[in-house]
Amino acid sequence: MRAVQYGKVNKLQLPVSTMRLVLLGDDNCVFLKTVGALGAGVTAVSVVCARARAARRPRFTCKMWVNLETPPAAVANYGKEDVVLVDMQMRSISSPGAVVAAGEPTFLTVPPMYLVPAAGDGASMEVPLHIRIDKLSPWSDALV
């Protein structure tokens, strides 16, 4: 489990082999981050808000992105950094056990060249993920 602050960029190193990670928001809201394979080395990453009573309307937005750590020489000469980004309204769910990253309506697609070797284990790969969760306001349970 990892704590995240709303409105701030949090950097996470997610092992590709770890399929789920629980994130805890400032106000004790629980988020489930899922990681899964799409095929050909491509990784899917998604996040949902886990609630006992799932809200019909989104209550949070989420930006997730990965930067290309070592760009190819042709790209490095331009002085720009390659980024894969998703900006989404987060779904609320009441049964987090059924969540699969690639099964979500919106997910971050991470090509293999964006993965980095895990510290101390060159055989394992990680997603160097940046995530920012923002609370939509105003909202209340009366709006669901």
Q: What is the pLDDT of residues 33-87, one digit of tens each?
A: 999 988 888 999 999 998 877 566 778 999 999 998 775 565 555 556 789 999 9
10-14 LR contacts (CB < 8 Å, sep 24+): 10/130, 10/131, 10/132, 11/128, 11/129, 11/130, 11/131, 12/127, 12/129, 12/130, 12/131, 13/116, 13/118, 13/119, 13/126, 13/127, 13/128, 13/129, 14/45, 14/126, 14/127, 14/129
Confidence of residue 143 (pLDDT cuts 50, 70, 90): very low
What whole-number distance in Å separates Cα of residue 16 and Cα of residue 130? 15
Q: Find out if CATH 2.60.210 is the number for domain 2-136.
A: yes
Average of pLDDT values for 98-116?
A: 89
> Which pLDDT score is estimated for 144?
41
Higher pLDDT, 130 or 75: 130
Question: 83-89 and 116-118: which strand pairing?
Answer: unpaired
The pLDDT mean for the chain works out to: 84
Domain ranges of the chain: 2-136
pLDDT of residue 101: 84
What pLDDT score was predicted for residue 42? 93
The verdict on whether omega for the bond into residue 138 sits within 30 degrees of 0, i.e. cis, is yes
Higher pLDDT, 54 or 127: 127
**pTM (two decimals):** 0.82
Longest CA span, the chain: 54
